[in-house]
Amino acid sequence: MSQALAARVRTISRIIISAIAVLVFLGDQATKAMVETYIPEHAVIPILPRFFNLTHIKNSGAAFGLFSDSPSVWKTALLVLVSAALLVTVAAIVWKSPRLQWESGVGLALILGGALSNLVDRIRVGRVVDFLDVYVQSYHWPSFNLADSAIVVGALFLILQVIFSE
């Protein structure tokens, strides 16, 4: 394989990045709608005993429920502004880079889709729906959703790109 072809194979285009981001956005919105329709708020549905439940939590805080107990009237506005600023930054990186290494491209796409989905929820209803409950014995990780998962996995892709870049 020539060097030019190998370099092309290792890169990802804006079209693919956009498609991944749209799939994350649509998947997150669909799963949140299903949870709101079929799982009563605060219900717990065991999936893998002693490890994983489905639940229905309305989260007015940041990722993983951070600041959800804060009574500040500015909390939602601040979360929307910070999310929007980060979303614009990530979109600008994608726009200015016509071809990215696949790790960076996938990472940015996952972050874009997840951040956009959570931002739309915060603007539309002032909160997000969290429904994934991972735990070991009595130690529960804060509930989260697919958008949160996509953002974390996207960040891991970017970290791997930095660590293992040539």
6-33, pLDDT tens digit by residue? 555 556 788 899 999 999 999 999 999 9
Catalytic residue among 28, 121, 133, 148: 148
148 is catalytic: yes
Which among 28, 121, 130, 133 is annotated as catalytic? 130
Task: Reply yes or no on whether 69 is catalytic.
Answer: no
112-136 pLDDT, tens digit per residue, is 999 999 999 999 998 899 999 999 9
- Write the CB contacts of 112 (distance below 8 Å, at least 6 apart in sequence): 17, 21, 24, 87, 90, 91, 94
The DSSP bridge partners found for residue 46 are 53
Q: What is the pLDDT of residue 10?
A: 58
CB under 8 A, 24+ apart: contacts of 40-49: 44/133
User: pLDDT tens, 37-81?
Assistant: 999 999 999 999 989 999 999 987 665 555 555 555 666 677 788
17 vs 1, more confident:
17
